[in-house]
Amino acid sequence: MRAAATATAAALLTPRLTRSAGRARLPSSSSSRPPLRRVAAMASSSFRPEDARSPPALDLPTPPLSKFKVALCQLSVTADKARNIAHARAAIEAAAADGAKLVLLPEIWNGPYSNDSFPEYAEDIEAGGDAAPSFSMMSEVARSLQITLVGGSIAERSGNNLYNTCCVFGSDGKLKGKHRKIHLFDIDIPGKITFKESKTLTAGQNPTVVDTDVGRIGIGICYDIRFQELAMLYAARGAHLLCYPGAFNMTTGPLHWELLQRARAADNQLFVATCGPARDASAGYVA
């Protein structure tokens, strides 16, 4: 169908040749066909490919800063939630003292990465306060240090559902955006690793683009980085930077972790920042 349409269009836009006594000649101006310029004008007026883009592409906004320092806090995670929160705060403070304007934490940094731990360590972000000590710390430290904080991810309890959620805070400490991991990670490689996030977690439904003091950021969590369509959507929405807190495992991670970061950056001509937890070989899930 496409080839036929192209051939038809080409025929309309090409002067018709006729043969007479072995010679090719152009049709006379008295031909019933409209002149070439008129045909071309008719074609251009009816074929407007830019009108087919809906919604229209967004112009990339000018970033507020042309250069800034990013800190990736690769935290060691233990079963002691209070210790994890204090450790994360200390790392954020050290990063800010070293001049970082954007700080990124790992995926599930406030407790062990396991289906048994997700319900135990989950926080009610909407309630805040004592119901969300990790969330409260991140908000307060972002405000006090006047930095943009991409808060890795924590397990979030919302009604009867648990989500793997990344909170983004502005330099005023306010929540700028909240991304719930869209692509849950289920893996089963016999003799090596079996893990199914879908046993306890619910998948998020929405992409997340956040305007911050350092620019427009598209957020994904871990396995979200595997899907180019999400990154492409962020690029179309004018993101300057993609941030993916993660916890890739030691079975498939060496093949994919760095490769996917480079791929998303090259595909979309955007900067990519990622951060995982420190490796703990004794953990049930080794990042």
Q: Which residues are catalytic?
A: 107, 181, 222
The residue among 32, 43, 36, 109 whose CA lies nearest residue 72 is 109
Separation between Cα atoms, residue 7 and residue 57, nearest integer Å = 30
Separation between Cα atoms, residue 183 and residue 107, nearest integer Å = 14
Task: Write out the two tokens for 160.
Answer: 């009867």
Kindly report the number of other CB atoms within 10 A of residue 273's CB atom. Answer: 18
Among the residues of 47-80, which ranges form H helices? Answer: none
Separation between Cα atoms, residue 106 and residue 92, nearest integer Å = 12
Separation between Cα atoms, residue 85 and residue 257, nearest integer Å = 26
The residue among 71, 73, 57 whose CA lies nearest residue 214 is 71
Separation between Cα atoms, residue 85 and residue 186, nearest integer Å = 27
